[in-house]
């Protein structure tokens, strides 16, 4: 026993003496009881035992901690012209302070800076891999890519950014092409689930008979023709991530009941399955339909609506945010120039009046299509109004009274020409054929409606 404790003491002494950290222990009066070699070498004094700590160590506060009894952690202490990181901790035994332990973790803050630089580099690498990972998982849009300078868009973006941080179910409504999917991506990318999967299901595009197994999966042998081993549904695939239920307004009623159960229980049951599977999924639903109207028609469950409608983001249509047009046109042209290789160097002034006058029923998706078509139609590198091939006249509400028959006929004729040109990618001969008129007659009409290059 005696020998054991002697050995133990020797071991402790050796450990303390050889530690890389500088270590000092004082009694409650501030007299040094122990100071290891690292510390003695650093201050350049060997004979230290029994001396007051202030005589040996510059700027020390060991004696102050001995009085206050309050530990001081990670304090900068300047010794011999170097900033050090000092910890001073009172040691208690039987409720009485018996000593104060002081350590210096870094003898030189430069070591700490080197460590910080390494951490910084690791952080940068981590951010890079996060971005790459996210790109592979498909959530490619972020809030800063959503053009929205207009006050109504700012409001929606702010709310979306706030709600992204939580796990709340979000319902995104808005006309077709307003950017609902874009918002869903951005919410996922700004959430704590950003590293998880982002899965989109278009409820309108999948046949009713398949939707259930697509969403919830099926067990082995659930129905004839099913893959033997069974299959995970989109909900299971979205575990720890986000699922976007696009066009939720088109979901068949029986499935709505099942979806409601999933949202309530946070469990899915595969088709033909016996045991429910727990899932951790954030649900975002989107629709361009008026869900209240669908409820009145008996086509959408009211209880599901309230479950989804925790936070609603209503994306304003493009015609209600004309301030966003210039930035959108800029961004879209840039993307299109890259994908088509066609260069637009100049935008003629008349383009803007047409863009502002048009009501954009297909919103930003339509704007993109119109610009892409115009790029293919234009000759040279200046985009002009006539290249847009959108008819603003048939689009305007008849605020100035009923149009004359001639005006109506002309509007219809112009719209038919524009549509034919769009269909044929700007090929005039083909367009004339489609409309069943001669080439020369077609050119006359193009001239009449200001559509000739
Ligand atoms: N605010 C925006 N800034 C930049 N691009 C946008 C914006 N809104 C939409 N877009 C672009 O417009 C197109 C349509 O967007 P998205 O698919 O998100 O619309 P949606 O509302 O989900 O349409 P739908 O209801 O038809 O599914 C996409 O190419 C998207 O990149």
Q: For each of the domains in the chain, give its residue range(s) and CATH number, in order of start.
A: 2-107 (3.30.450.20), 143-316 (3.40.50.300), 320-448 (1.10.8.60)
* pLDDT of the residue at 429: 84
* pLDDT of the residue at 71: 92
* pLDDT of the residue at 394: 45
**385 φ, ψ to 5°?**
-55, -40
Closest residue CA from atom 25 of ligand 1: 176
Using the atom order of ligand 1, give the atom closest to the CA of residue 181.
Answer: 18
Using the atom order of ligand 1, give the atom closest to the CA of residue 148.
Answer: 1
* pLDDT of the residue at 1: 55
* pLDDT of the residue at 108: 61
Closest residue CA from atom 23 of ligand 1: 177
Q: Identify the CA nearest to 177 among candidates 419, 359, 377.
A: 359
Q: Identify the CA nearest to 76 among candidates 50, 63, 58.
A: 58
Asked if this assembly's ipTM is beyond 0.85, the reply is: yes
Distance from residue 189's CA to the centre of ligand 1 (Å): 16
* pLDDT of the residue at 132: 67
Distance from residue 365's CA to the centre of ligand 1 (Å): 6
* pLDDT of the residue at 399: 39
Using the atom order of ligand 1, give the atom closest to the CA of residue 367.
Answer: 12
pLDDT along the chain (453 residues), means of 10: 78 87 93 93 91 94 93 86 87 91 75 76 78 62 88 95 94 93 94 91 83 87 63 92 93 91 90 87 94 92 93 94 94 91 91 90 89 87 87 48 68 82 80 89 82 67
Q: Which DSSP helix (H) or strand (E) runs through 275?
A: none
The model carries a pTM of 0.62
- List the beta strands (DSSP E) in 163-303: 170-173, 198-202, 217-218, 231-232, 242-246, 267-268, 277-278, 282-287
Distance from residue 178's CA to the centre of ligand 1 (Å): 5
Q: Which DSSP helix (H) or strand (E) runs through 155?
A: helix 151-164
Measuring from each residue's beta carbon to the nearest atom of ligand 1, which residues come in under 6 Å? 146-148, 174, 176-182, 246, 288, 328, 331, 364-365, 368
Distance from residue 166's CA to the centre of ligand 1 (Å): 23
Tell me which of 154, 155, 172, 178 to substitute to probe ligand 1's pocket, judged by most ligand atoms within 8 Å of the beta carbon. Answer: 178
């Amino acid at each position: 026993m005696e020998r054991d404790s002697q050995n133990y003491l020797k071991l402790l002494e050796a450990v303390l003496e050889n530690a890389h950290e500088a270590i000092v222990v004082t009694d409650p009066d501030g007299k040094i009881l122990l100071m290891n070699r690292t510390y003695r070498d650093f201050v350049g004094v060997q004979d230290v035992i029994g001396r007051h700590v202030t005589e040996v160590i510059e700027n020390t506060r060991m004696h102050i901690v001995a009085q206050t009894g309050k530990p001081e952690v990670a304090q900068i202490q300047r010794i011999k012209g170097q900033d050090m990181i000092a910890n001073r901790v009172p040691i208690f035994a039987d409720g009485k302070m018996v000593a104060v332990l002081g350590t210096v973790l870094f003898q030189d803050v430069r070591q700490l800076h080197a460590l910080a630089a390494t951490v910084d580099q690791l952080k940068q690498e981590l951010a890079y891999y996060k971005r790459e990972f996210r790109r592979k998982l498909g959530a490619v849009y972020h809030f800063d890519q959503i053009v929205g300078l207009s006050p109504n868009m700012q409001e929606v973006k702010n709310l979306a950014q706030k709600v992204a941080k939580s796990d709340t179910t979000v319902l995104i409504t808005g006309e077709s092409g307003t950017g609902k999917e874009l918002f869903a991506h951005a919410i996922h990318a700004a959430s704590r689930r950003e590293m998880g999967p982002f899965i989109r299901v278009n409820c309108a595009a999948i046949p009713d008979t398949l939707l259930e197994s697509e969403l919830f999966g099926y067990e082995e042998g659930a129905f004839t023709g099913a893959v033997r081993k069974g299959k995970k549904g989109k909900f299971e695939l979205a575990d720890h991530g986000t699922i976007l239920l696009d066009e939720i307004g088109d979901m068949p009623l029986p499935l709505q009941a099942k979806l409601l159960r999933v949202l309530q229980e946070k469990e899915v049951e595969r088709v033909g399955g016996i045991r429910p599977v727990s899932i951790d999924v954030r649900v975002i639903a989107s629709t361009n339909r008026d869900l209240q109207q669908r409820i009145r028609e008996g086509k959408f469950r009211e209880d599901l609506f309230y479950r989804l409608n925790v936070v609603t983001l209503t994306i304003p249509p493009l015609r209600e945010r004309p301030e966003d047009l210039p930035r959108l046109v800029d961004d879209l042209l840039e993307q299109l120039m890259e994908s088509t290789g066609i260069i637009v160097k100049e935008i003629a002034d008349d383009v803007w009046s047409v863009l502002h006058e048009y009501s954009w029923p297909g919103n930003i998706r339509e704007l993109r299509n119109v610009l892409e078509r115009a790029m293919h139609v234009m000759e040279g590198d200046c985009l002009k109004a006539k290249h847009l091939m959108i008819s603003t006249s048939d689009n305007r509400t008849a605020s100035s009274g009923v149009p004359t028959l001639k005006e109506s006929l002309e509007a219809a004729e112009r719209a038919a020409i524009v549509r034919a040109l769009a269909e044929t990618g700007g090929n005039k001969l083909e367009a004339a054929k489609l409309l069943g008129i001669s080439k020369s007659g077609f050119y006359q009409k193009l001239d009449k409606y200001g559509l000739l290059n």
